[in-house]
Amino acid sequence: MSRQDSWWDDAKRAARRRFDASDDPIADAVAADASAAAADRRRADAAGSTWAEPIDLGVSIDPGAPLPHLVADGLRAVLVFHAGLPADPDPDPDWDGMTVTVVDPKEPTVRRLSWVVFAGVAHVALGGPNDEALSGHPLFDAGLRH
């Protein structure tokens, strides 16, 4: 076992102890997963392997109406999507936090669009593994998370 693998095992044990003793296990689990993903990225980078790095775009995809479009030409890819709105300072008091507004693509309402351009692209794919399949993705052990 390499020194790096030993460090990784020690870090996982420490995260498990913190989770078991926590007053807020959900928040700690999220934080522990983020730490694990960051450690996975560092380990993959140190090994000279490919890793997944999150990018803060400053905007999110609207979860109720993503309708993303991907266009690629072999050198670059452009992702166009409905942008999520900033947090509403006066949310609906009857909202249960569990529903989203679904948008019909034929609806005439004007919506915010955002786009991201990726340069130097060799391969693109739209979509990703669902929650059950994410851990089987080749980049999961290299920092990939939803």
Q: What is the pLDDT of residues 54-99, one digit of tens each?
A: 888 787 777 666 678 899 998 999 998 888 766 555 666 776 767 7
Q: 129 is written with which tokens?
A: 């593994």
Rg of the chain over all Cα atoms, to the nearest angstrom: 19
Strand partners, 70: 79
Report how far residue 66's alpha carbon sits from residue 83's, in angstroms, rounded to the nearest whole number: 8
Residue 13 has pLDDT above 80, yes or no: no
Which residues, listed in sequence order, are joined to residue 78 by a DSSP beta bridge? 71, 117
Helices (H), the chain: 3-20, 25-46
Q: pTM to 2 decimals?
A: 0.57
Of 121 and 104, the structure prediction assigns the larger pLDDT to 121
Query: What pLDDT score was predicted for residue 5?
Result: 61
Residue where the block lists tokens 């490919």: 50
Tell me what the pLDDT averaged over the chain comes to: 79
Question: By percentage, how much of the chain surpasses pLDDT 70?
Answer: 77
Query: Whose structure tokens read 């693109």?
Result: 124
Q: Tell me which amino acid residue 145 is.
A: R
Q: Considering only CA atoms, which of 129, 143, 117, 145 is closest in space to residue 45? A: 143
pLDDT for the residue 128: 73
Looking at residue 112, what is its pLDDT? 79
Reference 146, options 37, 7, 67; nearest CA is: 37
What is the model's pLDDT at position 24?
A: 79
Strands 113-119 and 69-72: unpaired
- Residue 3: is its pLDDT beyond 60? no
